[in-house]
Structure 1
Amino acid sequence: MTFSISALLDQHQQEKLDLHEKYLNNQMVKVLKTIGYDRLYKRATGQYLYDHEGNEYLDLLSGFGVFAIGRNHPAVIKALQETLTLELPNLVQMDVSVLSGLLAKKILETTPDNLAKMFFCNSGTESVEAAIKFARYATKRENIVFCEHSFHGLTNGALSLNGEKIFREGFGALLPGCSSVPFNDLESLEQVLSKNNVAAFLVEPVQGKGVNIPDDNYLPEVERLCKKYGTLFVADEVQTGLGRTGKLWAIEHWGVQPDMICMAKALSGGFVPVGAVAMTQKVMDAVFNRMDRAVVHGSTFSKNNLAMAAGLATLQVIEDETLVKNSEEKGRMIMSGINAMVSKYEFLKEARGKGLMIAVEFQSPKSISLKAAWTMLETANKGLFCQMVTIPLFKEHHILSQVAGHGMNVIKMLPPLNLTDKDCRAVLDAFDHTIAETHKVPGSIWTLGKTLAGHALKK
């Protein structure tokens, strides 16, 4: 009997929600059904998803930033197919591979000059775990500092640096020596670093939860303070890296040179998980300082040929298709278009971001009727207004977006970097129409709001 993935999909495609409800996370299935996101997607290409009826959806999430070059890019598929047919030795372990060496060289050609070495792993959270270990060993200090509302991953070490309570609560004691400071607060940071016992300060150049952007002097001063107090400066570019913010690396906006950069997501091309840490020669030499320590930290699948091929092909696509420039241009188009609507919509506060990492924030209105409706949602569950916007964006306009974080009145966009002008106009038209509907009280969109509030209050 011939094994066929295509035949399996044809046979069981309609069962996907039932399979997940029975064997996987049934709460996720409940969420999808409640908000009407329970679609049966059959195909994906570039920035678009297609359901079983042939309807097209513009994907503004790109797998939380994984599909920066779009879904199923033919150049990456070709590289993976070629790699599979070459019968290469893979994961020999007591050996080193050509492809991992080439990918390391390619990445380091794009990073600040002070970074000279690479460590590969399988994900963003693994890159953070590596950075924690490397920083502690290189500095002989234990303490790690991170920012409030940050997100660095969900494994035990990375979770210890997670600034959101909902992710941390109930999982018991986490890593000792980890503490947080407010984002964009240099005074608080210096108070902690001045104790001269901090191994590393991990920070997202732009915070993913809420898309919070630092003051212009923040990261340059972070670099200065870390050097002053002997702390390693680690930039978590898992989400912001590889063109997302209109620069290849977000740190380029501020001209800083961290001691380590954590990366993942987009580097995979959306096919084979790959994460990495770029670091200084000093950090590498401190950790792998003797032959008997050559394998003191690693990951079994980390430098597999498919992952390395995917990374090489992805970097080539970003370069060939000038996606970094496109990210900057299309992001500016979307943000300026939404900000032009602020004057006519009381609920709309602002659009902010860099490149195609965009937040649309809403606020309490001044009009009495609108304020009463807003308060009703906020009382039921803070941030519920945004769900009332994202659901019709999806159902009526076929635009997939998400709320930026728990308890936030912020919608986040992380679209593929290959958006077209037509896509941007579709986004602006959809937001314009949907936000206009929220100002009609009572109205059909507020019927949805009451339903969402009812679900929230039942919880």
Structure 2
Amino acid sequence: MSTEFDLEALLAARGAERYDLHTRHLNPQLPRMLHTIGFDKVYERAEGAHFWDAEGNDYLDMLAGFGVMGLGRHHPVVRKALHDVLDLNLADLTRFDCQPLPGLLAERLLAHSPHLDRVFFGNSGTEAVETALKFARFATGRPRVLYCDHAFHGLTTGSLSVNGENGFRDGFAPLLPDTPVPLGDLDALARELKKGDVAALIVEPIQGKGVHESPAGYLRAAQELLHRHKALLIADEVQTGLGRTGDFYAYQHEDGVEPDLVCVAKALSGGYVPVSATLGKDWIFKKVYSSMDRVLVHSASFGSNAQAMAAGLAVLSVMEDEQIVARARTTGELLRSRLAALVGKYELLAEVRGRGLMIGIEFGRPDSLKLRGRWTMLQAARKGLFAQMVVVPLLQRHRILTQVSGDHLEVIKLIPPLVIDETDVERFVDAFTAVMDEAHSGGGLMWDFGRTLIKQAVAGR
């Protein structure tokens, strides 16, 4: 008989090896990158929108695990639901029965999209997109899916085929026969639809890379064009859904938009269990699952598992009880407006944009001669270095975790847990203001770090 497994003892004995273990056995570039920019912190615990290190210092999380931690970390209601479902000893994943939890979660999800009828549960955002791509192709009998420039829909082969960033695509060809169109360009969309082989357009209502919102009226006009040509609209709400932008789904900001397929993931389990959902219209699902012979034509080994379903139900319950969507709208507007008020004060600050708690801060070329030379030097080495220069002191000096919004982008993206409060907003604005003050002083450690980044960028070419 095996001895009892003691996870706490294992972490106590080996936890200090975390960066070395990653270097030896996982992606070796991750610890190298973290060390280079001073992000190689050791976080001991987390709760809500905060981390703490071994010395008891607290860090404000404005990243939410790339949007996974919508309710923050370790929400007690979600945590209890997971304990409860484990204690029930359910006959989970027998594969040949119908457990109640998937049906109950599907029912709760569909209540927020009353024009949709059915749900497929998978394990990640990229799986939700893969499902939508397969269903759209099969339902329409057409091979080609359109996507928008700079889109991000995942990194598996199908979702990579509709990824608008070459940096992710390079070296992985051949991909599926898909075609990019500019976000908001209805003429480009119409030209492609006239070719008669388009199954669908997949679109993020607000693009994660750069935080670019689709122009007003675009989604509804695109939907009408697509349906006129018997093609489908797929809304990728993996990052924007579940309250992130101040509505349950971001497509709901525009009246009359009713996507044929909607992709959901990330925050659905409260960050505890991998889970995704692809919501769709009844006729699409019935076409895919057209007979008993096709009952498993699209499935996932861990899809609909009890832990993921219980966590999802708990998350939706918390969102309703704590009015998370309205909270994200109010807190997000406070944060965006406070930051937007700084645009006229700082010449390096070009624009603040976004909805709810999905905010992009873009930097741009300054007017003054003193700063223009330094900006030009950074841009010549690698676009995006100034944004990185802002992210680093936010963490190192102010203990606030943020991210650059994408490769070669001078944009910081804020996607904090939806439970941040006014105190957190003030803390971020004060810290950001201090960093901007230093950047505009033309000297100091921030620009010294910029020179280090330039050397590394040049050496890496």
TM-score (norm 2): 0.98
What SS is found at the alignment partner of 1:358? strand
What SS is found at the alignment partner of 1:365? coil
Q: Which amino acid aligns with 1:301?
A: F
Q: Is the 8 A contact 2:343 2:352 kept in 1?
A: no
Q: Which amino acid aligns with 2:367?
A: K
What SS is found at the alignment partner of 2:52? strand
Q: Which amino acid aligns with 2:184?
A: N
Q: Residue in 2 aligned with 1:114?
A: 115
Of 201-210 and 189-198, deviating more is 189-198
Aligned mates of 1:437, 1:221 — CA distance in 2: 45
What SS is found at the alignment partner of 1:439? helix
Aligned mates of 1:179, 1:350 — CA distance in 2: 30
Aligned mates of 2:259, 2:400 — CA distance in 1: 36
Q: Is the 8 A contact 1:338 1:350 kept in 2?
A: no
Q: Residue in 2 aligned with 1:216?
A: 216
CA deviation profile, 1:10-45 (whole Å, cap 9, x unmatched): 111110000000000110111000010101111010
Q: Residue in 1 aligned with 2:459?
A: 458
What SS is found at the alignment partner of 2:441? coil
Deviation at 1:268, TM superposition (A): 1.5
Deviation at 1:194, TM superposition (A): 1.9
Q: Is the 8 A contact 2:52 2:59 kept in 1?
A: yes
Q: Residue in 2 aligned with 1:359?
A: 360
Q: Which amino acid aligns with 2:382?
A: N
Matches within 5 A, 1:319-330: 319-330=320-331
Q: Residue in 2 aligned with 1:424?
A: 425
Deviation at 1:291, TM superposition (A): 1.0
Deviation at 1:225, TM superposition (A): 0.7
Q: Residue in 1 aligned with 2:130?
A: 129
Matches within 5 A, 1:9-28: 9-28=11-30
Q: Residue in 2 aligned with 1:182?
A: 182
Deviation at 1:197, TM superposition (A): 1.3
Aligned mates of 2:92, 2:229 — CA distance in 1: 43
Tell me, yes or no, if structure 1 residue 448 matches structure 2 residue 449. Answer: yes
Aligned mates of 1:94, 1:342 — CA distance in 2: 58
CA deviation profile, 1:184-207 (whole Å, cap 9, x unmatched): 111111111122210111000100
Matches within 5 A, 1:20-169: 20-111=22-113, 113-169=114-170
Aligned mates of 1:226, 1:363 — CA distance in 2: 36
Q: Residue in 2 aligned with 1:233?
A: 233
Tell me, yes or no, if structure 1 residue 7 matches structure 2 residue 9. Answer: yes
Aligned mates of 2:426, 2:140 — CA distance in 1: 50
Q: Is the 8 A contact 2:148 2:181 kept in 1?
A: yes
CA deviation profile, 1:69-121 (whole Å, cap 9, x unmatched): 0101110110000000111100010111100010000000111x320011110
Q: Is the 8 A contact 1:403 1:410 kept in 2?
A: yes
Q: Is the 8 A contact 1:139 1:199 kept in 2?
A: yes
What SS is found at the alignment partner of 1:442? coil
Q: Which amino acid aligns with 1:432?
A: T
What SS is found at the alignment partner of 2:338? helix
**What is the root-mean-square deviation of aligned Cα atoms in Å?**
0.8
Q: Residue in 2 aligned with 1:205?
A: 205
Moved over 2 A (4+): none
Q: Is the 8 A contact 2:49 2:60 kept in 1?
A: yes
Aligned mates of 2:150, 2:182 — CA distance in 1: 8
Q: Which amino acid aligns with 1:287?
A: V
Unaligned runs of 5+ residues in structure 1 are none
Aligned mates of 2:102, 2:391 — CA distance in 1: 40
Aligned mates of 1:70, 1:207 — CA distance in 2: 22
Aligned mates of 1:120, 1:37 — CA distance in 2: 35
CA deviation profile, 1:344-398 (whole Å, cap 9, x unmatched): 1100011110000000000000101100010111111111000100000001111
Deviation at 1:443, TM superposition (A): 2.3
Q: Is the 8 A contact 1:148 1:164 kept in 2?
A: yes
Unaligned runs of 5+ residues in structure 2 are none
Deviation at 1:314, TM superposition (A): 0.6
Matches within 5 A, 1:307-456: 307-456=308-457
Aligned mates of 1:282, 1:242 — CA distance in 2: 25
Q: What is the aligned residue count?
A: 457
What SS is found at the alignment partner of 1:336? helix
CA deviation profile, 1:312-333 (whole Å, cap 9, x unmatched): 0011111111111111111111
TM-score (norm 1): 0.99
Aligned mates of 1:369, 1:217 — CA distance in 2: 42
What SS is found at the alignment partner of 1:344? coil
Aligned mates of 1:51, 1:352 — CA distance in 2: 32
- Name the % identity: 48
Q: Residue in 2 aligned with 1:247?
A: 247
CA deviation profile, 1:229-264 (whole Å, cap 9, x unmatched): 111100000000000000011011012100000000
What SS is found at the alignment partner of 2:207? coil
Aligned mates of 2:79, 2:242 — CA distance in 1: 19
Q: Is the 8 A contact 1:205 1:213 kept in 2?
A: yes
Q: Is the 8 A contact 2:359 2:413 kept in 1?
A: yes
Deviation at 1:444, TM superposition (A): 2.1
Of 438-447 and 117-126, deviating more is 438-447
Deviation at 1:5, TM superposition (A): 1.0
